[in-house]
Structure 1
């Protein structure tokens, strides 16, 4: 399937369809069961043209398990959810359980993760705020076996219906998509940019939007940990823009006759070449 939007904004990387299915393509890349990995690095490979797959044993990391709809994978975090809330915030070294778990990790985990576990990633100020954030995350158990990241060009729209479509965009392209998402809608807030892991902003958060009558697009890849992993694959100046399928089709239908055919946008395009 070709995208009118992708052509109109000069997208560099392939649009990626997020598909829930019980069948895995034979050529799909997949983490080994139990092996740690960043979901967004797999997403970057999909944006470069290769289908990737995940299931309940191959989602890479705890945040990825949550982001792809495999329940509350944070319960599997070393030391459980209590240690995770401190890992994301102020660290585990100031309480007994956290120190004990951290000492065990020192010899079994990588140096960077062991340090973050004790000192905290400091993305949220306190464990209590992380608890509140967890309550706001729309954790879910998907009804299918696999989540696929599939280049949109390889998708058969007659047989497949993705949950959402994700673009990797620079600042100009993001600006265009924000305008287009609001172009045929009432209001001015048809795009949201929540704080969440990179995989959560292309998985469970746009899936939640898809349940509403007028789903919004979700801007992501603001997760600096994920950005570190995708930079070599995609480049530095990009964010993700996830559109629930209904919104994607709506936006596709409004390209013709919109600002994307007018001199202001076309001049921006010309200046990029």
Structure 2
């Protein structure tokens, strides 16, 4: 990245967003030396949970083995499969069987979303997350 553009972005961010945290950036790469590779089980199963470390300034690199949840693997493009009853998992759950995440209001909404969602394959072996002011 052009360091002048990066510097200007951070200056403008600080000017207009005061004390707001800098944004998290991500990109795909086949090179593993861009950030610390996450070992399976070393961070939260959910990639979203691992973002707290990135928000604090730690750069992390994930691959298919690093991501512990089915949704993360699917949405990052590392796997096309989804878990059974995914529409319930993402919404209300199944009482006594499956806890729901409550990201969507109903299983029907999830099913409709899944029909419209294009398939995505990760363009490289790794995805790197870092705060925009970090080089590594």
Q: Distance in 1 between matches of 2:35 and 2:75?
A: 23
User: Structure 1 residue 4 and structure 2 residue 8: aligned?
Assistant: yes
Out of 61, 67, 75, the position equivalent to 1:67 is: 75
Gap runs ≥5 in structure 2: none
Cα deviation for residue 142 of structure 1 reads 1.1
Corresponding residue number in structure 2 for 1:133: 113
Cα deviation for residue 26 of structure 1 reads 7.3
Q: 1:36 to 1:73 in 2, by over 3 A?
A: farther
Q: 1:135 to 1:34 in 2, by over 3 A?
A: farther
Q: Distance in 1 between matches of 2:48 and 2:87?
A: 22
Say whether the 8 Å CA contact 2:30–2:125 is kept in structure 1: yes
| Structure with greater helix percent | 1
Q: Distance in 2 between matches of 1:90 and 1:15?
A: 31
Q: Distance in 1 between matches of 2:80 and 2:42?
A: 16
Q: Which has the larger radius of gyration?
A: 1
> 1:227-246 alignment to 2 at 5 Å?
none
Q: Distance in 1 between matches of 2:53 and 2:42?
A: 20
Gap runs ≥5 in structure 1: 94-98, 103-116, 157-273
What per-residue deviation string (whole Å, max 9, x for no partner) do you get for residues 11-49 of structure 1? 543443312111122751514169852212333322322
Q: TM-score, normalised by structure 1?
A: 0.40
> 1:34-45 alignment to 2 at 5 Å?
37-45=45-53
Corresponding residue number in structure 2 for 1:228: none
Corresponding residue number in structure 2 for 1:91: 93
> 1:10-159 alignment to 2 at 5 Å?
10=14, 12-25=20-33, 28-32=36-40, 37-74=45-82, 77=83, 80=84, 83-93=85-95, 102=97, 117-118=98-99, 120-155=100-135
Cα deviation for residue 146 of structure 1 reads 0.2
Higher relative contact order (CA 8 A, sep 6+): 2
Q: Distance in 1 between matches of 2:43 and 2:56?
A: 22
Say whether the 8 Å CA contact 2:43–2:50 is kept in structure 1: no
Over the aligned positions, Cα root-mean-square deviation in angstroms equals 3.0
Q: Distance in 2 between matches of 1:29 and 1:134?
A: 30
Cα deviation for residue 139 of structure 1 reads 3.3
